[in-house]
Amino acid sequence: MVSRAAILLLMGLLGMVYQATQLPPPNRNSNDSNSITEDEASPTPRIRLSDGRYLAYREKGVPRDKAQHKIIIVHGFGSSKEMNFLAPQELIDELGIYFVQYDRAGYGESDPNPKRSLKSETLDIEELADQLQIGHKFYVIGVSMGSHATWSCLHYIPHRLAGVAMIAPVINYNWASLPESVVRQDYRKRLIQWALWLAKYSPRLLHWLVTQKWLPSNSVIEKNPAFFNTRDIDILKIIPGFPMLTKEKLREQVVFDTLRGDWMVAFGNWEFDPLKLSNPFSHNTSKVHIWQGYEDKVVPSQIQRFVSRNMPWINYHEVSDGGHLIIHYSGLCEAVLRALLLGEENVSYRPRPDRDILVS
Q: Is residue 263 part of a domain?
A: yes
Provide the whole-model pTM.
0.86
pLDDT in tens, the chain (360 residues): 444 445 555 555 555 555 555 544 333 333 333 333 333 444 789 999 999 999 999 999 999 999 999 999 999 988 889 887 899 999 999 999 999 999 999 999 999 999 999 999 999 999 999 999 999 999 999 999 999 999 999 999 999 999 999 999 989 999 999 999 999 888 888 888 888 999 999 999 888 888 877 665 555 555 566 678 889 888 888 876 556 666 677 888 888 899 999 999 999 999 999 999 999 997 667 899 999 999 998 889 999 999 999 999 999 999 999 999 899 999 999 999 999 999 999 999 999 876 544 443
Q: CA–CA separation, 10 vs 304, rounded Å?
A: 21
Q: What Rg, from alpha-carbon coordinates, does the chain have?
A: 19
How many distinct structural domains can be found in the chain? 1
- Assigned domain for 28 exists: no
Among candidate residues 107, 104, 119, 102, the one with its CA nearest the CA of residue 153: 119
In a domain, residue 160? The reply is yes
* C-alpha 26: how far from chain center: 19
Cβ–Cβ < 8 Å for 248, 32 = no
In a domain, 358, yes or no: no
Beta strands at 46-48 and 54-61: parallel, antiparallel or unpaired? antiparallel
Q: What is the pLDDT at residue 241? A: 56
pLDDT at 223: 58
pLDDT at residue 30 in the model: 34
Exposure string (b/e) for 245-262, b if CB count within 10 Å is 16 or more?
Answer: beeebbeeeebbebbbbb
Q: Does residue 262 belong to any structural domain of this protein? A: yes
CA pseudo-torsion sign 333, 334, 339, 344: negative
Q: Which residues pair with 143 in a beta bridge?
A: 167
Specify if 99 maps to a domain: yes
Alpha-helix runs per DSSP H in the chain? 4-19, 89-95, 118-131, 147-156, 180-183, 187-201, 203-209, 218-221, 230-236, 247-250, 253-267, 301-309, 332-337
Domain containing 192 — which CATH number?
3.40.50.1820
Residue at 34 is within a domain? no
What is the domain extent for residue 285?
4-22+44-349
Is 178 within the bounds of a domain? yes
